């Protein structure tokens, strides 16, 4: 993307949270990454999210993250919009990756710095410093799982910063979703951060969803999203219920290790996780195999194994 106006226009729909495939030796597997990117673009996904929390960015060096950005943008080009997570606790790292993301034509995605006892005023000052660095604008990433949960009132203040083009909302409390949809919607693009429970935010008026599990179940999650996009809430609900068993196991065994295991079972190149994460147990793999077999028996799922 060239600039902020193009970002604001194109940022909508279903974005695949692309896992970062690592080899058994811990190296990034760019060939596997390219295969996964091509799969979801070919199926018709609206965009990609690269190097986020489930992309394992906290386990990567700044240089590796920059290499990942460059590799994905070389693969995807301008075919779909790409969110590039430039989050970090070191403002110097966030600065450099935010500039790089915009220069490459992606849209940087920034969390508040996850340091102790930072005030709301300091968080706003941080975003005011970082947002203008990207020529394509930037996305606020409200990611409770890695530290700070932004309140709706702070999000409203951040949405007024020139250059903010979107919000990836990880706090799915219904009250927060309702307030954000009605007070921030229309000013910036709103994305639900989880495919585990995205029907509610979409019905509330969000513009899109990011999905980790679409790495393993791309056909099913895409069909679910398209149904709700078309206004067919019943069809979307029916499709979403199909993979409850998968979601329950994902919550139990953790991400991204579970989705990577599921990708491998389907013949996709999920790769390995990096420490401190560990691969799921043999017992969990057996549970996963049973769930996938059940899904494959239902033609609505689009899943084959």
Nearest CA among 126, 111, 129, 108 for reference residue 4: 108
Q: How confident is the model at residue 115 (pLDDT cuts 50, 70, 90)?
A: confident
- Tell me the CA distances in angstroms from 80 to 7, 40, 211, 230, 263, one per residue in order: 11, 10, 15, 20, 22
Sign of the torsion formed by the C-alpha atoms of 203, 228, 142 and 275? positive
The full set of domain ranges for the chain reads 4-232
In CATH, what is the architecture of 4-232? Alpha-Beta Barrel (3.20)
For position 155, what pLDDT does the model report? 98
CB 204 within 8 Å of CB 178: yes
Residue 217 has pLDDT above 80, yes or no: yes
Predicted TM-score of the model (pTM):
0.96
For position 305, what pLDDT does the model report? 83
Would you state the structure tokens that stand for residue 184, as one six-digit string? 């921030």
Q: What is the DSSP letter of 282?
A: H
Within 233-279, residue ranges assigned H as helices are 233-242, 244-253, 257-265
For position 50, what pLDDT does the model report? 98
State the catalytic residues. 141, 168
Nearest CA among 46, 1, 40 for reference residue 208: 46
Distance of alpha carbon 39 from alpha carbon 125, whole angstroms: 39
Share of the chain above pLDDT 70, in %: 100
- What number is the average pLDDT over the span 272-298? 97
For position 165, what pLDDT does the model report? 98
For position 103, what pLDDT does the model report? 98
CB 209 within 8 Å of CB 191: yes
Kind and range of the H or E element at 82?
strand 82-85
Residue 104 has pLDDT above 90, yes or no: yes
């Amino acid at each position: 993307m060239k600039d902020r106006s193009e970002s604001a226009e194109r940022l909508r729909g279903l974005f695949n949270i692309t896992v970062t495939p690592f080899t058994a030796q811990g190296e990034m597997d760019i060939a596997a990454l390219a295969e996964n990117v091509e799969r979801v673009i070919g199926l018709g996904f609206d965009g990609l999210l690269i190097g986020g929390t489930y992309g394992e960015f906290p386990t990567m060096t700044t240089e590796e993250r920059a290499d990942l950005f460059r590799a994905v943008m070389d693969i995807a080009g301008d075919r779909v919009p790409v969110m590039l997570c430039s989050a970090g606790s070191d403002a110097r790292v966030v600065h450099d990756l935010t500039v790089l993301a915009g220069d490459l034509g992606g849209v940087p995605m920034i969390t508040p710095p996850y340091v102790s006892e930072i005030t709301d005023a300091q968080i706003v000052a941080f975003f005011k410093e970082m947002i203008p660095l990207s020529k394509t604008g930037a996305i606020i990433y409200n990611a409770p799982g890695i530290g700070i949960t932004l309140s709706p009132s702070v999000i409203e203040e951040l949405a007024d910063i020139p250059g903010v083009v979107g919000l990836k909302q990880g706090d799915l409390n219904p009250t927060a979703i309702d307030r954000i949809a009605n007070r921030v919607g229309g000013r910036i693009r709103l994305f639900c951060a989880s495919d585990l429970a995205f029907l509610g935010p979409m019905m509330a008026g969000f513009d899109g969803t990011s999905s980790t599990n679409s790495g393993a179940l791309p056909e099913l999650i895409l069909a679910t999203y398209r149904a709700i996009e078309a206004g067919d809430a019943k069809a979307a609900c029916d499709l979403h219920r199909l993979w409850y068993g998968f979601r329950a196991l994902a919550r139990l065994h953790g991400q991204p290790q579970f989705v990577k295991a599921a990708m491998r079972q389907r013949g996709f190149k999920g790769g390995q996780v990096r420490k401190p994460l560990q691969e799921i147990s043999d017992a969990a793999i057996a549970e996963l195999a049973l769930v996938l077999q059940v899904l494959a028996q239902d033609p609505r799922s689009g899943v084959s194994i």
